[in-house]
A and B are shown apart, each in its own frame.
Chain A
């Protein structure tokens, strides 16, 4: 079939897409490895310079940037939320996919409905006041707790469990006398591992990049995005410093992406068709 052969136009378009995708990241590296005066020179410098190490040290040791704390906090927040969401979602997904109980369909519909509401923007005011009332502002638990609610995770794991754990397998385990939790642990979890990976990577990236809620509730105890934000607000012309910070902030994500690229692409595509 000739239709599946890429034309010259297709190749050119793909080439441009790749260059455009990579360019801003390359640019980040260029500025992060140069001095401030290079960042504002005309014509712009197009090749990386030799100051990357100095700039990174500068941003890490900058007294007002709280950058190391930001990286540590982001790591803690993203890890805790990821593990909790996987736990909560696989439990609920198993119940919705393989167990019979009254009200199952109504509850599942409720999960779907919550996915459509932008809770993050809708509910910030009461959530913020709740955290103030509990005296939890600038604590990590205030950043973490609202994100444990993840309708997408429950939905994804329900779909995944439905496809990868046949009912007969659950029935057989039950006849063998396994209790529900044991079936979840021994039968379901091993079967849905790919789904867990997709959900986990997704959640981790989402949390690492989150901006609005930590800005509201924890700007004195920043995550990495908030650390960049305050650098940007206070020293907006210190380009090499800020760019070194942004470069540092995306390194963990790039590492995850390179390691799990196949699963991320595969998971995204599978999820799209299932939804």
Chain B
């Protein structure tokens, strides 16, 4: 800092002719500067990380109503939530959509990554085109898919009609609405996860495959016995990421019902994040919404733990 103004020669001579003030300043620089460098992050963390978390906990213990009265509720919000059918429906919706979206997505991403890992021409162009959905905004994706899934004129029902399938009302029924939303999620994220898997695959030493080929192992066997087990660290990263993203799903189902947090006439595709949004910003029941936010966090922890244990076993030949 203070050196900025010194000419280069003076800087180079500083060891011989350093005035006492400078030495003190340079010690301060070495001792204190690291803290100064990390402080912006931690100040922001206090303001926008710790403060909201602590206050969410605090709010969750109080009852808020529309008139602005606030009353101590203890764990009342939590117990009401656990016996609230709407909350349970939202939880079932969220978990179901997560499973419907994630299982095929992981499989497709793995096979796509395996294909991308071959010796191909136009490699960059191919990789970029499977990443294209990621740079499309979630709202735009949801708008397009909502039109594609329309009952009377949507392309999806039109194509299905060639195979004799009757028009499905994708938005009105529970499972079809989950499938439609899971399709939006998968369209956006499959290519991204494939690229991440591809990165993981490229770190697997090629001589492993050579040795296996010499031993007569088929391609399929090599995929299941070498690629999958070696890919486990990458898979843990991808699965945990998808768990957090999937269980906090919000923009797609919101847009599917034209920006309304009810999630359909019967709440058939309302997610927990939409439930929180509705309780907080439609009903202004901040306590109830905050308690729901903590339960969502709990759900994420449970989901992450289950998936972590599951992935750890994948391809385990021992």
Contact = CB atoms under 8 A, between A and B. Distances in A.
A272 B196 contact: yes
A187 interface: no
Nearest to B212: A3
A178 B30 CA distance: 11
Given A39-B153, A99-B33, A273-B200, A121 B48 contact: no
A1 to B, nearest CB: 7
A177 B3 contact: yes
B174 interface: no
Contacts of A2: 213
Given A145-B48, A268-B195, A118 B297 contact: yes
Contacts of B116: 14
Nearest to B33: A180
A4 B30 CA distance: 52
A14 B3 CA distance: 57
Contacts of B296: 118, 121-122
Interface in B217-267: 219, 222, 234, 237, 240, 244, 248, 250-251, 254-255, 258-260
A6 B210 CA distance: 17
Is the contact region of chain B dominated by helix, strand, or loop, or is it mixed? helix
Interface of B: 1-4, 11-12, 14-15, 26, 29-31, 33-35, 37-38, 40-42, 44-45, 47-49, 51-53, 55-56, 59, 111-112, 115-120, 124, 126-141, 143-145, 147-148, 150, 152-153, 155, 158, 187, 191-192, 195-196, 198-200, 202-203, 206, 209-210, 213, 219, 222, 234, 237, 240, 244, 248, 250-251, 254-255, 258-260, 273, 276-277, 280-281, 286, 289-290, 293-294, 296-297, 300
25 contacts: A3-B213, A18-B129, A22-B132, A24-B136, A27-B155, A43-B158, A88-B40, A92-B41, A99-B33, A104-B34, A107-B42, A122-B297, A123-B52, A125-B289, A145-B48, A179-B33, A182-B4, A209-B138, A211-B139, A211-B250, A229-B254, A243-B143, A254-B135, A269-B199, A273-B200
Interface of A: 1-6, 10, 13-14, 17-18, 20-22, 24-25, 27-28, 31, 39-44, 87-89, 91-92, 94-96, 99-101, 104, 107, 110-111, 114, 116-130, 145-146, 148-149, 154, 174, 176-182, 184, 205, 208-209, 211-212, 215-216, 224-225, 228-230, 232-233, 236, 239, 242-243, 246-247, 249-250, 253-254, 256-257, 261-262, 264-265, 268-270, 272-273, 275
